[in-house]
Amino acid sequence: MGTLYLIVKRSLARHAFSSCVTVAASALAAGLVLAVFAISAESRRAFTGGSIGFDAVLGARGSPLQLVLNTVYHLETSPGNLSWSQYEAARDDPRVELALPYAVGDSYRGFRVVGTTPEVFTRFELHEGETFRFQGQGVPFEPSRREAVLGATVARALGLGRGSRIRPEHGVAVPAGHALEHEEEFVVVGVLEPTNTPSDRVIWIPIEGVFRMGGHVLRGAGEEFEAEVGEAIPVRHKEVSAVLIKFAGPQAGFQLQQKFNRAGSTATLAWPIGRSIAELFDKLGWVNRVLELLSYVVCLVAAAGILASLTNTMNERRLEFAILRALGARRRTVFAAIVLESSAIAGLGAVLGFAIYAILFFVVAYLVEERTGVIVQLFEFHPAFLLAPLGMVFLGALAGLLPAWKAYSTDVATNLSSV
Amino acid sequence: MALLEIHGLHRAYRTAGGEERPVVRLEAYSLAEGEQAALAGPSGSGKTTLLNLIAGILRPDAGRIEISGHEITGMSESERDRFRARNLGYVFQSFHLLGGYDALENVLLGMSFGSRPDRNHARTLLERLGLGERLGHRPGEMSMGQKQRVALARALANRPKLVLADEPTGNLDTENAEIALGLLREVCREEGAALLLVSHDPAVLETFERVDRLEALR
């Protein structure tokens, strides 16, 4: 084995340029395979398996996926509104432990504004027994005041803190420079500790503040109503974008799903939340298949590169093989040396492929976190971490078979005497 | 006691026209253990082919070659390879050192196919041949004379019973040729290896007590 190692090492060094190019191609191929499989699996896990603190989302009749994307991940637009009475019905249902009303539709410098009740800070538990924690002296907003609480990413990205003042803009995803600012100004009274969830990208304000924002028209009673300063808003006019629900027991999901999702209902209960997202991933499965196929093709191209590179060196190496044979090396020894060399190129590439994977992953993870607040884990184990390097080495070994056969077939006497 | 015995050896090449052209015909030849002998013959007389037959690199069309009582003509190719690695040393006219390897590695590689590479022995041999300062040098960094001494060290590294030398001084100037030949014969003697050298150079041949002409052995 020491002899084979020496032969391979010296050959790689002698053909340093082609060795580097083929190792780089193999690294790219292995990195791509790792990225396609691991990022896809980890993204799915992060979006469907992470704790979001709620069991279901109640919203207007429509797509559960849109409802979940809008309320949980703060993407897309709201599919419509529910009346306040529908929220109250959900809140008062004995099968519901906690129901939080969400009113959305405004934003501030790219971050979404969510109107809700202070219960989001006092009763909502992101994990078992763990409510939102405030940084420093931060406190929840007063429901009757124009106060705001910022998620950690919002505060960091916009350089805001306690005492800062913000004026929400009408609409979401409005291009910079085209935003229409509301006149109402909200004072930041608290900044939350990071949670590594989409909540880090939210600006929380009292739901009453959303109702009373200039230009907001309430249609809870079917007719249009605009709140007046100093006057109470009749409950029948109030409406919410969605209600986030925590169930009181394990059977509640089935029962409430039947209640809200029955024919003729004006509401939709998205439950379980993870399933809606999983359906999205399933729908996008063909994209993954295409990417997988592409990564396989890149692997084959890399293996073809190894084959071409080694085959090109075979002519100049005939004398080397003849000398080795004359020294007593058996045919299978030179055959093994070439297969080992091609496997080593692929193996080195596979190792470097982890670096390519890490780079790709960091880019994807950054983009996912930037847009959704969801954290995807780089080092979460995936079978591809084992299978991709092994597969690459196997392909490399296969690519070495033809040049190895040429080395195996080298005629010793002819090649020794040709010099 | 005979180390090498050859009987009725015949090897021919088939030309493109299908004609069989004999290259080696040797009725009988023997070499004793530790003996040093030269085989003379003009270019194209089959000297190199004969050495390749003795080394087991080629198979004869007919005849028998025995080395230390082992009939190598009856062995499989793999067995001949193993036998060659363990029992024979081969010195080529063009040295045939491996370009990407330094002097020590060339010798170690020569050892590795027959036994466990002995770094100390390889180093000692190279030092004995005056290459102590050149262990880490590659062939491209050495003179012709130095290259031939590395090739010599490689041929002797496995303590072979028989060293085959094919025009070992053919690519050297007169001074280096004398030095290389002297070293080759001296080290073979010290190591107890028999030497069979083929050459057409009268200056080389006249240094041997036993010189056989290939034509006479047919």
Q: What's the pLDDT tens digit per position in A250-264? A: 888 888 888 887 766
Size of chain B in residues:
218
Residue A387 and residue A241 share a domain? no
| Separation of alpha carbons B23 and A175, rounded Å | 89
pLDDT tier for residue A129 given thresholds of 50, 70 and 90: confident
Domain boundary among A214, A249, A271: A271
Neighbours of B128 (CB within 10 A): 17
Higher pLDDT, A74 or A319: A319
> What's the confidence (pLDDT) of residue B14?
81
Q: Is A383 part of any domain?
A: yes
Burial (CB count <10 Å: 0-12, 13-18, 19+), residue A190: buried
For residue A412, the chain B residues in CB contact (below 8 A) are 52, 57
Q: Which residues form the domain of B186?
A: 2-217
Is residue A151 pLDDT above 60, yes or no? yes
Number of domains in chain A: 2
User: A80 in a domain, yes or no?
Assistant: yes
| C-alpha distances out from residue B65 to B29, B35, B41, B51, B144, Å | 9, 17, 20, 11, 33
Are A392 and A347 in contact by the 8 Å Cβ rule? The answer is yes
- For chain B, what is the domain count? 1
If residue A99 lies in a helix (H) or strand (E), which one and from where to where?
strand A96-108
Q: Environment class of residue A395 by beta-carbon count within 10 Å: exposed (0-12), middle (13-18) or buried (19+)?
A: buried
Does A29 share its domain with A170?
Answer: no
Q: Are A98 and A13 members of one domain?
A: no
The answer on A254 and A136 residing in a single domain is yes
Same domain, A186 and A254: yes
The structure tokens 């041999």 sit at B125
Per-residue confidence band for A176, with pLDDT thresholds at 50, 70 and 90:
low
How far is A345 from chain B, CA to nearest CA, in Å?
18
Residues A289, A377: one domain? yes
A367: which strand partners? none
User: Are A80 and A181 within one domain?
Assistant: yes
* Domain-terminating residue out of A220, A247, A271: A271
- Note the ipTM here: 0.90
Please check whether residue A241 lies inside any domain of the structure. Answer: yes
What confidence score (pLDDT) does residue A46 get? 76
B100 touches chain A (CB under 8 A): yes
A275 within 8 A of A137, measured Cβ to Cβ: no
Do residues A223 and A371 both lie within one domain?
A: no
Whether A330 and B49 lie within 8 Å, measured CB to CB: no
Q: Determine, yes or no, domain membership for A228.
A: yes
Q: Contact, A334 vs A341, CB < 8 A?
A: no
Phi–psi pair at B50, nearest 5 degrees: -60, -45
For residue A68, what are the domain limits? 56-271
Whether residue A370 is found in the same domain as residue A351: yes
Tell whether A276 is covered by a domain: no
Let me know whether A38 and A71 are in one domain.
no
Residue B82 has pLDDT above 60, yes or no: yes
List the single residue in A10, A320, A328 with the smallest CB-CB distance to B113.
A328
CATH number at residue B202: 3.40.50.300
Contacts of A330 in chain B (CB under 8 A): 78, 81-82, 113
- Please tell me whether residues A377 and A244 are part of one structural domain: no
Three-state DSSP state, A1: coil
